[in-house]
Structure 1
Amino acid sequence: MKGVNVQIMGQSLVVASDAGDEWVKSVAETVDERIKAIRAGTQTVSSINLVILAALNFADELEHLRREHQELMDRIEAMNKRLSAAIDGDPS
């Protein structure tokens, strides 16, 4: 596993990952952009607070996506059951 050099908040970091270099750079860029957006919208100057707010922001987004994913999976399962029943000739 090799390291990829990225910049976040002006800090150079080497990130070890099995993902490709472009993926790692893209993720780091997303994190850096989110921190910059938070910095622009708040009076917080502490780097730690900015990073915590960014982490909370990402966690919130992730939880919403997880719930949306589960709802979609539930809908697909229900549709699959209805289709199977229709194919088998079961009117319920």
Structure 2
Amino acid sequence: MARPPGKKLQSITLLSGGEQTMTAVSLLFSIYQVSPSPFCLLDELDAPLDESNINRFIRVLKRFLDQSQFLIITHKSAPSAWLIRCTE
């Protein structure tokens, strides 16, 4: 069950791909707050996300860069933009 902003509580299978991804990312970072890992591998996490949600993800990711390393695999056309944003 999940409740994205502005929506009612519903099964995660009824959410869009982007909403499912952001819900999973929220859970992942919640776990990281309690029990951080030295590294994290994320494969094509950005595929279902629009630019707005990618920017939200990057803002949250930056909070964890001091305690963990992230390897993010993407097929988007501008992966260097991720690198620049994540290493600022």
**TM-score, normalized by the shorter chain, greater than 0.5:** no
State the TM-score, normalizing by the size of structure 2.
0.30
Q: Greater CA radius of gyration, 1 or 2?
A: 1
Q: Which has the higher contact order (CA 8 A, sep 6+)?
A: 2
State the TM-score, normalizing by the size of structure 1.
0.29
